[in-house]
Amino acid sequence: MNEIEIQTVFESAGQPDRQYIQLWVDAALDDYDRDAEIVVRIVDEQESAELNEQYRHKQGPTNILSFPVDLPEGIELDLLGDLVICAPVLEKEALEQNKRLADHWAHIVVHGVLHLLGYDHIDDNEAEQMESKEIAILNRLQISNPYTEINDI
């Protein structure tokens, strides 16, 4: 059983409840061969910007930051890592991209979990592999391809 801890530092009307976040985490971990623990922290733009600057050396808030756990050799824990989600950025993106907010939340949670599993999008090959995985997971959740240019609400 995958376990999540949700830390809500920022609250807004469009945020999903624990049940949906658990569903999306479980869907992203469907092929993972063991139980996992993930901390999901929902933050405001200020905290996101501070963490983005500190850990990625980039200015401003971002939709999600993924922090995979880096355990010393010989230590075995189910902890995969932390996801820090900036709710205001997600809400703005969903509006700008004409996406249902819940669908965008699902995509960003799945995207973050895949980062915790080692997927990345630094080069085109990696990006294509990660996007294909995201699209397949979201399809199983009956959510349309988030990479299409026009999404109906």
Q: Are strands 79-86 and 64-68 parallel, antiparallel or unpaired?
A: antiparallel
CATH, domain 3-140, list 2.40.30.10, 3.40.390.30, 3.40.50.880, 3.40.605.10: 3.40.390.30
At 134, list the tokens.
């995201």
Residues 28 and 43: their CA atoms lie apart, in Å, by: 22
Confidence at residue 62, expressed as pLDDT on a 0 to 100 scale: 97
Residues 84 and 99: their CA atoms lie apart, in Å, by: 21
Q: Look at the pTM and tell me if it is higher than 0.85.
A: yes
How does DSSP classify residue 14? T
Q: What is the pLDDT along the chain (153 residues), one digit of tens a residue?
A: 899 999 999 999 899 999 999 999 999 999 998 899 999 999 999 999 999 999 999 999 999 999 999 888 888 888 999 999 999 999 999 999 999 999 999 999 999 999 999 999 888 888 899 999 999 999 999 999 999 854 444
β-bridge mates for residue 120, sequence order: none
Give burial (CB, 10 Å; 0-12/13-18/19+) of 102.
middle
